[in-house]
A and B are shown apart, each in its own frame.
Chain A
Amino acid sequence: MTPTLLRAEGLSARRGDRTVLEWCNLSVEPGDRIAIYGPNGAGKSTLLQALAGLLPIASGIVSFRGRALGQEVSYLEFHRRTAAMFQESLLLRGTVRHNVELGLKLRGMAGPERAARVQPWLDRLHISHLANRLVGSLSGGEAQRTSLARALVLEPEVFFLDEPFAALDAPTRARLAQELAEILDGRQIATLFVTHDIDEAAEMCSRCLVLDAGRVLQQDSMETVLERPTSRRVAEIIGMPNVFEGRVVESGPGGTWLDWSGHRIHTNAEARVGVRVAFLIRQERIRLQTTATEMTNHIRGRVDDGRRRGKSRFVSVGIGNRHRIEVRSDLSDRPSSGEEIIVLFPPDAVWVFPEQGGSLTCAA
Protein backbone atom coordinates (compact mmCIF):
# COMPACT_ATOMS: atom_id res chain seq x y z
CA MET A 1 0.00 0.00 0.00
CA THR A 2 1.37 3.41 -0.98
CA PRO A 3 1.87 5.61 2.08
CA THR A 4 -0.13 8.84 2.32
CA LEU A 5 1.58 11.71 0.54
CA LEU A 6 1.31 14.12 3.48
CA ARG A 7 -0.23 13.33 6.84
CA ALA A 8 -0.59 15.37 10.02
CA GLU A 9 -1.52 13.66 13.28
CA GLY A 10 -2.35 15.52 16.48
CA LEU A 11 -0.66 18.62 15.14
CA SER A 12 -0.43 21.57 17.54
CA ALA A 13 1.59 24.75 17.19
CA ARG A 14 2.41 27.71 19.38
CA ARG A 15 3.47 31.26 18.71
CA GLY A 16 5.30 32.53 21.78
CA ASP A 17 3.33 31.26 24.76
CA ARG A 18 0.04 31.17 22.83
CA THR A 19 -1.36 27.95 21.35
CA VAL A 20 -2.51 28.88 17.87
CA LEU A 21 -3.30 25.44 16.51
CA GLU A 22 -4.78 22.49 18.38
CA TRP A 23 -4.83 18.82 17.58
CA CYS A 24 -5.23 18.76 13.83
CA ASN A 25 -5.31 15.61 11.74
CA LEU A 26 -5.15 15.74 7.99
CA SER A 27 -4.38 13.42 5.09
CA VAL A 28 -3.35 14.68 1.70
CA GLU A 29 -3.14 12.51 -1.39
CA PRO A 30 -1.69 13.35 -4.81
CA GLY A 31 -4.03 15.63 -6.75
CA ASP A 32 -5.97 16.73 -3.65
CA ARG A 33 -6.91 20.40 -3.60
CA ILE A 34 -7.68 21.44 -0.06
CA ALA A 35 -8.82 24.88 1.03
CA ILE A 36 -7.79 25.95 4.52
CA TYR A 37 -10.50 28.43 5.27
CA GLY A 38 -11.28 30.62 8.26
CA PRO A 39 -11.47 34.17 9.58
CA ASN A 40 -8.43 36.31 10.40
CA GLY A 41 -6.45 34.86 13.29
CA ALA A 42 -7.97 31.39 12.88
CA GLY A 43 -4.53 29.77 12.52
CA LYS A 44 -4.69 29.10 8.77
CA SER A 45 -1.17 30.30 7.99
CA THR A 46 0.15 28.59 11.11
CA LEU A 47 -1.33 25.27 9.97
CA LEU A 48 0.06 25.72 6.46
CA GLN A 49 3.53 26.63 7.71
CA ALA A 50 3.53 23.72 10.17
CA LEU A 51 2.56 21.33 7.37
CA ALA A 52 5.18 22.89 5.08
CA GLY A 53 7.92 22.29 7.65
CA LEU A 54 8.48 26.01 8.04
CA LEU A 55 7.27 26.36 11.62
CA PRO A 56 8.30 24.27 14.64
CA ILE A 57 5.38 22.22 15.91
CA ALA A 58 4.53 21.94 19.61
CA SER A 59 3.23 18.39 19.36
CA GLY A 60 2.09 15.82 16.86
CA ILE A 61 3.76 14.59 13.73
CA VAL A 62 3.88 15.48 10.05
CA SER A 63 4.86 12.68 7.74
CA PHE A 64 5.74 12.77 4.05
CA ARG A 65 5.18 9.55 2.14
CA GLY A 66 5.13 7.67 5.42
CA ARG A 67 8.35 9.17 6.78
CA ALA A 68 8.30 11.53 9.77
CA LEU A 69 9.36 15.04 8.83
CA GLY A 70 12.54 16.13 10.57
CA GLN A 71 13.32 12.55 11.65
CA GLU A 72 13.11 10.10 8.77
CA VAL A 73 13.06 12.73 6.05
CA SER A 74 15.07 15.94 6.39
CA TYR A 75 13.45 19.33 6.06
CA LEU A 76 15.79 20.12 3.18
CA GLU A 77 14.75 17.02 1.21
CA PHE A 78 11.09 17.77 1.95
CA HIS A 79 11.44 21.38 0.81
CA ARG A 80 13.11 20.22 -2.37
CA ARG A 81 10.08 18.10 -3.24
CA THR A 82 7.46 20.72 -2.33
CA ALA A 83 6.89 24.41 -3.03
CA ALA A 84 5.29 27.34 -1.24
CA MET A 85 3.90 30.68 -2.25
CA PHE A 86 2.86 33.53 0.01
CA GLN A 87 0.68 36.63 -0.16
CA GLU A 88 3.74 38.74 -0.91
CA SER A 89 5.71 37.72 -3.97
CA LEU A 90 9.00 37.67 -1.96
CA LEU A 91 11.20 37.98 -5.01
CA LEU A 92 14.93 38.52 -4.74
CA ARG A 93 16.79 41.40 -6.36
CA GLY A 94 17.48 40.68 -10.00
CA THR A 95 15.52 39.75 -13.07
CA VAL A 96 12.34 37.72 -13.44
CA ARG A 97 14.33 34.89 -15.02
CA HIS A 98 16.82 34.90 -12.13
CA ASN A 99 13.94 34.49 -9.69
CA VAL A 100 12.13 31.79 -11.64
CA GLU A 101 15.38 29.82 -11.95
CA LEU A 102 16.29 30.21 -8.30
CA GLY A 103 14.87 26.95 -6.93
CA LEU A 104 16.50 24.95 -9.73
CA LYS A 105 19.83 26.70 -9.08
CA LEU A 106 19.60 25.77 -5.40
CA ARG A 107 19.14 22.15 -6.49
CA GLY A 108 22.35 22.40 -8.52
CA MET A 109 20.73 22.11 -11.95
CA ALA A 110 22.99 23.12 -14.86
CA GLY A 111 22.30 26.29 -16.87
CA PRO A 112 21.01 24.80 -20.18
CA GLU A 113 18.71 22.33 -18.41
CA ARG A 114 17.47 25.15 -16.19
CA ALA A 115 16.69 27.36 -19.15
CA ALA A 116 14.78 24.53 -20.83
CA ARG A 117 12.70 23.97 -17.69
CA VAL A 118 12.00 27.67 -17.09
CA GLN A 119 10.93 28.81 -20.56
CA PRO A 120 7.65 26.82 -20.78
CA TRP A 121 6.55 28.25 -17.42
CA LEU A 122 7.42 31.80 -18.44
CA ASP A 123 5.26 31.21 -21.53
CA ARG A 124 2.47 29.45 -19.63
CA LEU A 125 2.18 32.31 -17.14
CA HIS A 126 2.52 34.99 -19.83
CA ILE A 127 5.70 36.54 -18.43
CA SER A 128 8.26 35.53 -21.07
CA HIS A 129 8.36 39.16 -22.29
CA LEU A 130 9.34 40.17 -18.74
CA ALA A 131 12.12 37.59 -18.37
CA ASN A 132 14.94 40.13 -18.37
CA ARG A 133 13.04 42.82 -16.45
CA LEU A 134 14.22 43.74 -12.95
CA VAL A 135 11.64 42.66 -10.37
CA GLY A 136 11.49 46.15 -8.83
CA SER A 137 9.58 47.38 -11.87
CA LEU A 138 6.89 44.66 -11.89
CA SER A 139 3.23 45.22 -11.06
CA GLY A 140 1.63 43.21 -8.25
CA GLY A 141 0.08 40.75 -10.68
CA GLU A 142 3.32 40.30 -12.65
CA ALA A 143 5.25 39.75 -9.42
CA GLN A 144 2.79 37.04 -8.31
CA ARG A 145 2.98 35.40 -11.74
CA THR A 146 6.77 35.32 -11.32
CA SER A 147 6.40 33.84 -7.86
CA LEU A 148 3.94 31.25 -9.20
CA ALA A 149 6.32 30.31 -12.03
CA ARG A 150 9.18 30.01 -9.52
CA ALA A 151 7.15 27.47 -7.55
CA LEU A 152 5.62 25.51 -10.43
CA VAL A 153 8.91 25.11 -12.32
CA LEU A 154 10.02 22.91 -9.43
CA GLU A 155 7.24 20.41 -10.25
CA PRO A 156 6.40 20.02 -6.56
CA GLU A 157 4.58 17.03 -5.12
CA VAL A 158 2.83 19.31 -2.63
CA PHE A 159 2.15 22.99 -3.24
CA PHE A 160 1.46 25.23 -0.23
CA LEU A 161 -0.28 28.52 -1.02
CA ASP A 162 -0.86 31.14 1.66
CA GLU A 163 -3.45 33.61 0.33
CA PRO A 164 -1.33 34.11 -2.79
CA PHE A 165 -3.73 36.44 -4.56
CA ALA A 166 -5.19 38.32 -1.58
CA ALA A 167 -3.23 41.51 -2.22
CA LEU A 168 -4.27 41.77 -5.88
CA ASP A 169 -7.18 43.67 -7.37
CA ALA A 170 -10.34 41.63 -8.00
CA PRO A 171 -10.01 41.07 -11.78
CA THR A 172 -6.32 40.09 -11.53
CA ARG A 173 -7.09 37.82 -8.58
CA ALA A 174 -9.90 36.08 -10.45
CA ARG A 175 -7.77 35.64 -13.58
CA LEU A 176 -4.79 34.23 -11.70
CA ALA A 177 -6.97 31.90 -9.61
CA GLN A 178 -8.58 30.58 -12.79
CA GLU A 179 -5.21 30.09 -14.51
CA LEU A 180 -3.82 28.29 -11.49
CA ALA A 181 -6.89 26.04 -11.33
CA GLU A 182 -6.41 25.18 -15.03
CA ILE A 183 -2.71 24.42 -14.49
CA LEU A 184 -3.47 22.18 -11.52
CA ASP A 185 -6.30 20.40 -13.34
CA GLY A 186 -3.92 18.43 -15.49
CA ARG A 187 -1.47 17.57 -12.74
CA GLN A 188 -1.15 15.41 -9.65
CA ILE A 189 0.20 18.23 -7.48
CA ALA A 190 -1.46 18.14 -4.05
CA THR A 191 -2.42 21.70 -3.17
CA LEU A 192 -3.13 23.29 0.19
CA PHE A 193 -4.65 26.70 -0.30
CA VAL A 194 -5.12 29.15 2.55
CA THR A 195 -7.85 31.67 1.87
CA HIS A 196 -10.50 33.74 3.59
CA ASP A 197 -12.53 34.02 0.40
CA ILE A 198 -15.06 31.18 0.27
CA ASP A 199 -15.81 31.78 -3.42
CA GLU A 200 -12.12 31.47 -4.27
CA ALA A 201 -11.91 28.34 -2.11
CA ALA A 202 -14.93 26.84 -3.91
CA GLU A 203 -13.43 27.62 -7.31
CA MET A 204 -9.98 26.24 -6.54
CA CYS A 205 -10.56 23.32 -4.20
CA SER A 206 -12.51 20.09 -3.84
CA ARG A 207 -12.00 19.76 -0.08
CA CYS A 208 -12.29 22.33 2.67
CA LEU A 209 -10.98 22.52 6.17
CA VAL A 210 -12.70 25.19 8.26
CA LEU A 211 -10.56 26.62 11.05
CA ASP A 212 -11.51 28.90 13.88
CA ALA A 213 -9.38 29.99 16.84
CA GLY A 214 -6.83 27.27 16.11
CA ARG A 215 -9.37 24.45 15.98
CA VAL A 216 -10.63 22.58 12.96
CA LEU A 217 -14.41 22.90 13.00
CA GLN A 218 -15.17 20.91 9.89
CA GLN A 219 -13.24 19.01 7.26
CA ASP A 220 -15.25 17.73 4.31
CA SER A 221 -15.74 18.02 0.61
CA MET A 222 -16.25 21.60 -0.51
CA GLU A 223 -19.84 20.79 -1.43
CA THR A 224 -20.60 19.31 2.00
CA VAL A 225 -19.18 22.31 3.82
CA LEU A 226 -21.26 24.66 1.70
CA GLU A 227 -24.42 22.54 1.83
CA ARG A 228 -24.26 21.03 5.31
CA PRO A 229 -22.12 23.05 7.73
CA THR A 230 -21.74 21.12 10.97
CA SER A 231 -22.33 24.06 13.31
CA ARG A 232 -23.68 27.57 13.51
CA ARG A 233 -20.13 28.84 13.76
CA VAL A 234 -19.13 27.17 10.49
CA ALA A 235 -22.18 28.68 8.79
CA GLU A 236 -21.26 32.05 10.22
CA ILE A 237 -17.61 31.73 9.10
CA ILE A 238 -18.49 30.78 5.54
CA GLY A 239 -20.87 33.72 5.41
CA MET A 240 -24.24 31.97 5.51
CA PRO A 241 -27.01 34.17 6.92
CA ASN A 242 -30.44 32.98 8.01
CA VAL A 243 -29.45 30.82 10.97
CA PHE A 244 -32.26 30.58 13.54
CA GLU A 245 -33.38 28.50 16.49
CA GLY A 246 -36.61 26.55 16.76
CA ARG A 247 -38.27 23.59 18.48
CA VAL A 248 -39.03 20.27 16.81
CA VAL A 249 -42.80 19.79 17.07
CA GLU A 250 -43.44 16.90 14.72
CA SER A 251 -41.35 14.24 13.03
CA GLY A 252 -42.42 11.44 10.75
CA PRO A 253 -42.05 9.83 7.34
CA GLY A 254 -43.11 13.06 5.63
CA GLY A 255 -40.37 15.10 7.29
CA THR A 256 -39.86 17.19 10.36
CA TRP A 257 -41.73 20.31 11.44
CA LEU A 258 -40.16 23.04 13.52
CA ASP A 259 -41.84 25.79 15.43
CA TRP A 260 -40.05 29.06 14.78
CA SER A 261 -41.66 31.97 16.63
CA GLY A 262 -45.11 30.70 15.70
CA HIS A 263 -44.25 29.75 12.12
CA ARG A 264 -44.21 26.09 11.06
CA ILE A 265 -41.08 25.21 9.14
CA HIS A 266 -41.02 21.97 7.16
CA THR A 267 -37.64 20.27 6.64
CA ASN A 268 -36.42 16.95 5.30
CA ALA A 269 -33.83 16.73 8.09
CA GLU A 270 -34.35 14.28 10.95
CA ALA A 271 -34.61 15.48 14.55
CA ARG A 272 -36.17 14.34 17.82
CA VAL A 273 -39.48 15.88 18.82
CA GLY A 274 -39.20 18.34 21.68
CA VAL A 275 -35.55 19.38 21.27
CA ARG A 276 -34.43 22.89 20.41
CA VAL A 277 -32.35 22.98 17.25
CA ALA A 278 -30.47 25.53 15.22
CA PHE A 279 -31.36 25.55 11.55
CA LEU A 280 -30.29 27.30 8.40
CA ILE A 281 -32.47 28.44 5.53
CA ARG A 282 -30.25 28.42 2.45
CA GLN A 283 -30.23 31.90 1.03
CA GLU A 284 -29.94 30.83 -2.60
CA ARG A 285 -33.07 28.62 -2.34
CA ILE A 286 -35.37 31.36 -1.07
CA ARG A 287 -37.82 33.05 -3.43
CA LEU A 288 -39.89 36.16 -2.91
CA GLN A 289 -43.46 36.41 -4.11
CA THR A 290 -46.27 38.87 -3.62
CA THR A 291 -49.12 36.33 -3.74
CA ALA A 292 -49.82 33.20 -1.68
CA THR A 293 -48.62 29.82 -2.93
CA GLU A 294 -48.94 26.12 -2.31
CA MET A 295 -45.29 25.66 -1.26
CA THR A 296 -44.95 24.18 2.25
CA ASN A 297 -42.78 26.92 3.69
CA HIS A 298 -44.18 30.35 3.06
CA ILE A 299 -43.83 33.16 5.56
CA ARG A 300 -45.26 36.61 5.29
CA GLY A 301 -42.90 39.50 5.91
CA ARG A 302 -42.08 43.09 5.04
CA VAL A 303 -39.14 44.27 2.94
CA ASP A 304 -36.72 46.16 5.19
CA ASP A 305 -34.06 47.21 2.71
CA GLY A 306 -32.14 46.08 -0.31
CA ARG A 307 -28.46 46.41 -1.15
CA ARG A 308 -26.22 45.35 -3.95
CA ARG A 309 -23.06 43.27 -3.54
CA GLY A 310 -21.26 42.52 -6.79
CA LYS A 311 -23.74 41.28 -9.37
CA SER A 312 -26.40 40.27 -6.85
CA ARG A 313 -28.99 42.22 -4.96
CA PHE A 314 -29.68 41.28 -1.38
CA VAL A 315 -33.05 41.93 0.19
CA SER A 316 -33.68 41.83 3.89
CA VAL A 317 -37.20 40.77 4.87
CA GLY A 318 -38.44 41.41 8.41
CA ILE A 319 -40.46 38.55 9.90
CA GLY A 320 -42.51 39.97 12.75
CA ASN A 321 -40.44 42.16 15.03
CA ARG A 322 -37.75 39.66 15.93
CA HIS A 323 -36.32 38.09 12.79
CA ARG A 324 -34.91 38.98 9.44
CA ILE A 325 -34.38 36.71 6.47
CA GLU A 326 -31.78 37.73 3.92
CA VAL A 327 -32.57 36.82 0.34
CA ARG A 328 -30.40 36.99 -2.76
CA SER A 329 -32.44 38.14 -5.72
CA ASP A 330 -31.86 38.95 -9.39
CA LEU A 331 -31.17 42.51 -10.33
CA SER A 332 -34.49 42.60 -12.14
CA ASP A 333 -36.32 41.54 -8.97
CA ARG A 334 -36.52 44.71 -6.94
CA PRO A 335 -39.19 44.75 -4.24
CA SER A 336 -39.47 48.17 -2.69
CA SER A 337 -38.82 48.96 0.94
CA GLY A 338 -41.89 48.50 3.19
CA GLU A 339 -43.65 46.25 0.69
CA GLU A 340 -45.46 43.19 2.08
CA ILE A 341 -44.00 40.03 0.64
CA ILE A 342 -44.08 36.24 0.98
CA VAL A 343 -40.84 34.35 1.60
CA LEU A 344 -40.88 30.88 0.03
CA PHE A 345 -38.46 27.99 0.40
CA PRO A 346 -38.73 24.22 -0.09
CA PRO A 347 -38.18 21.74 2.80
CA ASP A 348 -34.77 20.71 1.44
CA ALA A 349 -33.61 24.34 1.75
CA VAL A 350 -33.74 23.97 5.53
CA TRP A 351 -30.64 22.43 7.09
CA VAL A 352 -30.77 21.45 10.77
CA PHE A 353 -27.41 21.53 12.48
CA PRO A 354 -26.46 18.18 13.98
CA GLU A 355 -25.21 19.68 17.17
CA GLN A 356 -26.39 23.05 18.39
CA GLY A 357 -23.58 25.56 18.75
CA GLY A 358 -21.10 22.71 18.88
CA SER A 359 -18.05 21.96 16.81
CA LEU A 360 -16.31 18.85 15.66
CA THR A 361 -12.72 18.04 16.31
CA CYS A 362 -10.83 17.69 13.07
CA ALA A 363 -11.82 14.47 11.41
CA ALA A 364 -9.26 12.21 9.78
Chain B
Amino acid sequence: MWAVESRGPRGLRARLIGAGHAHVSPWWPTEGGFFLSFPVSRAQLGPEASALARRLEALRLPGSVFLRGSVVESSVPFAGSDVDVLLLSDGDFRSSAFDGLSARMLDLKPLTRKRLRRDLVQHALVAHRALRVSGPDPALEPAACDEEFAWRHWLAYFPAGLPARIDSSDRYALYHFKCAARSFGVLSLLRDGRYTRDVDACMDFADAISPDAAHTLRRLRATLERGEGAEFSLDQVRAELLRLHRGLT
Protein backbone atom coordinates (compact mmCIF):
# COMPACT_ATOMS: atom_id res chain seq x y z
CA MET B 1 0.00 0.00 0.00
CA TRP B 2 2.27 2.76 -1.23
CA ALA B 3 0.94 6.22 -0.97
CA VAL B 4 -0.43 8.33 -3.74
CA GLU B 5 -2.27 11.54 -3.15
CA SER B 6 -4.41 12.48 -6.10
CA ARG B 7 -4.91 16.12 -6.88
CA GLY B 8 -7.66 15.56 -9.34
CA PRO B 9 -7.82 14.95 -13.05
CA ARG B 10 -6.84 17.47 -15.66
CA GLY B 11 -8.49 15.64 -18.49
CA LEU B 12 -7.32 12.80 -20.62
CA ARG B 13 -4.07 13.07 -22.49
CA ALA B 14 -2.78 10.99 -25.29
CA ARG B 15 -0.73 7.95 -24.43
CA LEU B 16 2.71 9.28 -23.69
CA ILE B 17 4.96 6.44 -22.82
CA GLY B 18 5.71 3.23 -24.58
CA ALA B 19 5.32 2.22 -28.15
CA GLY B 20 2.06 0.82 -29.41
CA HIS B 21 2.09 -1.11 -32.69
CA ALA B 22 5.72 -2.11 -32.23
CA HIS B 23 6.94 -4.03 -35.26
CA VAL B 24 10.25 -5.00 -33.79
CA SER B 25 11.04 -6.94 -30.64
CA PRO B 26 11.89 -4.60 -27.77
CA TRP B 27 14.75 -6.92 -26.79
CA TRP B 28 18.07 -6.13 -28.38
CA PRO B 29 19.22 -9.12 -30.41
CA THR B 30 22.65 -10.55 -29.70
CA GLU B 31 24.98 -13.05 -31.27
CA GLY B 32 28.30 -14.31 -30.00
CA GLY B 33 28.33 -11.90 -27.07
CA PHE B 34 27.72 -8.81 -29.18
CA PHE B 35 24.62 -6.86 -29.98
CA LEU B 36 23.42 -7.08 -33.55
CA SER B 37 22.54 -4.17 -35.78
CA PHE B 38 19.07 -2.63 -35.65
CA PRO B 39 16.63 -5.18 -37.04
CA VAL B 40 14.50 -2.70 -38.98
CA SER B 41 15.08 -1.64 -42.54
CA ARG B 42 13.73 1.39 -44.33
CA ALA B 43 11.39 -0.84 -46.25
CA GLN B 44 9.63 -1.70 -42.98
CA LEU B 45 8.95 1.87 -41.92
CA GLY B 46 5.41 3.09 -41.63
CA PRO B 47 4.24 5.88 -43.96
CA GLU B 48 5.00 8.66 -41.48
CA ALA B 49 8.52 7.49 -40.77
CA SER B 50 9.14 6.88 -44.46
CA ALA B 51 8.12 10.40 -45.33
CA LEU B 52 10.30 11.79 -42.56
CA ALA B 53 13.25 9.72 -43.69
CA ARG B 54 12.87 11.08 -47.20
CA ARG B 55 12.73 14.64 -45.96
CA LEU B 56 15.80 14.16 -43.82
CA GLU B 57 17.60 12.67 -46.78
CA ALA B 58 16.68 15.66 -48.88
CA LEU B 59 18.37 18.00 -46.40
CA ARG B 60 21.72 16.52 -47.48
CA LEU B 61 23.22 17.12 -44.06
CA PRO B 62 26.92 16.53 -43.51
CA GLY B 63 27.57 13.25 -41.73
CA SER B 64 25.17 10.43 -41.03
CA VAL B 65 21.57 10.90 -39.95
CA PHE B 66 19.69 8.33 -37.89
CA LEU B 67 16.13 7.96 -36.69
CA ARG B 68 15.41 6.09 -33.50
CA GLY B 69 12.66 5.54 -30.97
CA SER B 70 9.01 4.85 -31.57
CA VAL B 71 9.04 6.50 -34.99
CA VAL B 72 11.08 3.58 -36.32
CA GLU B 73 10.17 0.87 -33.82
CA SER B 74 6.42 1.23 -34.29
CA SER B 75 4.38 0.99 -37.42
CA VAL B 76 2.13 3.64 -35.88
CA PRO B 77 4.12 5.90 -33.51
CA PHE B 78 2.10 6.68 -30.41
CA ALA B 79 0.34 10.01 -30.15
CA GLY B 80 2.34 12.80 -28.62
CA SER B 81 5.68 11.11 -29.13
CA ASP B 82 8.55 13.17 -30.40
CA VAL B 83 10.93 12.15 -33.13
CA ASP B 84 14.47 11.27 -32.14
CA VAL B 85 17.01 12.28 -34.75
CA LEU B 86 20.68 11.49 -34.23
CA LEU B 87 23.20 13.44 -36.27
CA LEU B 88 26.63 11.91 -36.35
CA SER B 89 28.85 14.62 -37.70
CA ASP B 90 31.94 16.54 -36.73
CA GLY B 91 30.51 19.69 -38.27
CA ASP B 92 28.03 22.15 -36.83
CA PHE B 93 24.50 22.51 -38.03
CA ARG B 94 21.64 24.92 -37.59
CA SER B 95 18.44 23.66 -36.10
CA SER B 96 16.45 25.94 -38.40
CA ALA B 97 17.30 23.47 -41.17
CA PHE B 98 14.79 21.13 -39.57
CA ASP B 99 11.90 23.58 -39.46
CA GLY B 100 8.68 22.08 -40.72
CA LEU B 101 10.19 18.64 -41.13
CA SER B 102 7.58 16.97 -38.99
CA ALA B 103 4.39 17.88 -37.18
CA ARG B 104 5.88 16.12 -34.18
CA MET B 105 8.49 17.70 -31.99
CA LEU B 106 11.95 16.85 -33.24
CA ASP B 107 14.50 15.86 -30.64
CA LEU B 108 17.79 16.48 -32.41
CA LYS B 109 20.85 14.93 -30.90
CA PRO B 110 24.10 15.94 -32.58
CA LEU B 111 26.91 13.51 -31.86
CA THR B 112 30.53 13.20 -32.81
CA ARG B 113 32.65 10.11 -33.16
CA LYS B 114 34.71 11.41 -30.28
CA ARG B 115 31.60 11.54 -28.12
CA LEU B 116 30.64 8.02 -29.10
CA ARG B 117 34.08 6.73 -28.17
CA ARG B 118 33.66 7.89 -24.60
CA ASP B 119 29.94 7.26 -24.28
CA LEU B 120 29.01 3.62 -24.59
CA VAL B 121 25.33 4.36 -24.05
CA GLN B 122 25.07 6.70 -27.02
CA HIS B 123 27.35 4.46 -29.05
CA ALA B 124 25.06 1.52 -28.43
CA LEU B 125 21.98 3.51 -29.39
CA VAL B 126 23.48 4.59 -32.70
CA ALA B 127 25.07 1.24 -33.49
CA HIS B 128 22.16 -0.98 -32.47
CA ARG B 129 18.92 0.88 -32.09
CA ALA B 130 18.84 3.52 -34.77
CA LEU B 131 18.10 3.47 -38.47
CA ARG B 132 20.44 5.35 -40.78
CA VAL B 133 18.42 7.38 -43.23
CA SER B 134 21.16 9.38 -44.89
CA GLY B 135 24.90 9.79 -45.05
CA PRO B 136 27.64 7.21 -45.02
CA ASP B 137 27.63 4.10 -42.86
CA PRO B 138 29.85 5.07 -39.91
CA ALA B 139 30.77 1.37 -39.48
CA LEU B 140 30.62 1.52 -35.71
CA GLU B 141 32.05 -1.33 -33.70
CA PRO B 142 29.34 -3.51 -32.20
CA ALA B 143 28.88 -3.18 -28.44
CA ALA B 144 29.63 -6.23 -26.35
CA CYS B 145 26.74 -7.61 -24.34
CA ASP B 146 28.68 -7.69 -21.09
CA GLU B 147 28.96 -6.35 -17.57
CA GLU B 148 30.62 -3.17 -18.78
CA PHE B 149 27.61 -2.47 -20.98
CA ALA B 150 25.29 -3.13 -18.04
CA TRP B 151 27.29 -0.94 -15.69
CA ARG B 152 27.48 2.01 -18.11
CA HIS B 153 23.75 1.87 -18.66
CA TRP B 154 23.15 1.55 -14.93
CA LEU B 155 25.11 4.75 -14.42
CA ALA B 156 23.24 6.46 -17.23
CA TYR B 157 19.84 5.67 -15.72
CA PHE B 158 21.34 6.40 -12.30
CA PRO B 159 18.67 4.89 -10.06
CA ALA B 160 20.75 5.90 -7.04
CA GLY B 161 19.99 9.47 -8.09
CA LEU B 162 16.21 9.08 -8.24
CA PRO B 163 14.43 11.60 -6.04
CA ALA B 164 12.70 10.22 -2.98
CA ARG B 165 9.46 11.88 -3.91
CA ILE B 166 8.15 13.21 -7.12
CA ASP B 167 5.11 15.07 -8.25
CA SER B 168 3.82 13.64 -11.50
CA SER B 169 3.10 17.14 -12.77
CA ASP B 170 6.78 17.98 -12.40
CA ARG B 171 8.34 18.45 -15.82
CA TYR B 172 11.05 15.92 -15.02
CA ALA B 173 8.70 13.25 -13.70
CA LEU B 174 8.49 11.47 -17.05
CA TYR B 175 12.26 11.34 -17.27
CA HIS B 176 12.59 9.92 -13.77
CA PHE B 177 9.91 7.36 -14.52
CA LYS B 178 11.74 6.26 -17.65
CA CYS B 179 15.03 6.03 -15.79
CA ALA B 180 13.50 3.89 -13.07
CA ALA B 181 11.76 1.66 -15.60
CA ARG B 182 14.83 1.30 -17.81
CA SER B 183 16.94 0.36 -14.83
CA PHE B 184 14.89 -2.85 -14.85
CA GLY B 185 16.10 -3.42 -18.42
CA VAL B 186 19.65 -3.43 -17.08
CA LEU B 187 18.66 -5.87 -14.35
CA SER B 188 17.17 -8.09 -17.04
CA LEU B 189 20.48 -8.04 -18.86
CA LEU B 190 22.33 -8.98 -15.69
CA ARG B 191 19.90 -11.72 -14.76
CA ASP B 192 18.76 -13.16 -18.07
CA GLY B 193 21.23 -11.79 -20.60
CA ARG B 194 18.44 -9.89 -22.39
CA TYR B 195 18.51 -6.12 -22.70
CA THR B 196 15.78 -3.67 -23.54
CA ARG B 197 15.13 -0.01 -22.96
CA ASP B 198 11.53 -0.32 -24.08
CA VAL B 199 9.40 0.92 -21.22
CA ASP B 200 6.68 -1.70 -21.65
CA ALA B 201 9.15 -4.58 -21.74
CA CYS B 202 11.01 -3.12 -18.76
CA MET B 203 7.77 -2.88 -16.81
CA ASP B 204 6.88 -6.47 -17.64
CA PHE B 205 10.24 -7.55 -16.26
CA ALA B 206 9.68 -5.35 -13.20
CA ASP B 207 6.34 -7.07 -12.63
CA ALA B 208 8.13 -10.39 -12.54
CA ILE B 209 10.93 -9.51 -10.15
CA SER B 210 9.60 -6.66 -8.08
CA PRO B 211 5.80 -6.39 -8.09
CA ASP B 212 5.71 -3.62 -5.48
CA ALA B 213 8.13 -1.38 -7.34
CA ALA B 214 6.34 -2.17 -10.60
CA HIS B 215 3.01 -1.29 -9.02
CA THR B 216 4.26 2.12 -7.92
CA LEU B 217 5.80 2.81 -11.32
CA ARG B 218 2.65 1.75 -13.13
CA ARG B 219 0.60 4.12 -11.01
CA LEU B 220 3.06 6.90 -11.71
CA ARG B 221 2.88 6.09 -15.39
CA ALA B 222 -0.90 6.09 -15.43
CA THR B 223 -0.93 9.44 -13.68
CA LEU B 224 1.56 10.83 -16.17
CA GLU B 225 -0.49 9.58 -19.09
CA ARG B 226 -3.66 11.11 -17.71
CA GLY B 227 -1.91 14.39 -17.07
CA GLU B 228 -2.87 14.36 -13.43
CA GLY B 229 -0.84 15.77 -10.59
CA ALA B 230 -0.07 13.35 -7.79
CA GLU B 231 2.79 12.92 -5.39
CA PHE B 232 4.66 9.64 -5.48
CA SER B 233 7.21 8.15 -3.20
CA LEU B 234 10.06 6.71 -5.25
CA ASP B 235 12.43 5.96 -2.41
CA GLN B 236 11.27 2.39 -2.08
CA VAL B 237 11.58 1.90 -5.83
CA ARG B 238 15.11 3.25 -5.64
CA ALA B 239 15.99 1.04 -2.68
CA GLU B 240 14.54 -1.98 -4.46
CA LEU B 241 16.51 -1.29 -7.65
CA LEU B 242 19.74 -0.94 -5.71
CA ARG B 243 19.00 -4.09 -3.72
CA LEU B 244 18.29 -6.10 -6.87
CA HIS B 245 21.42 -4.75 -8.53
CA ARG B 246 23.52 -5.76 -5.54
CA GLY B 247 22.13 -9.26 -5.81
CA LEU B 248 23.00 -9.55 -9.49
CA THR B 249 26.54 -8.19 -9.46
Q: Do A and B bind each other?
A: no
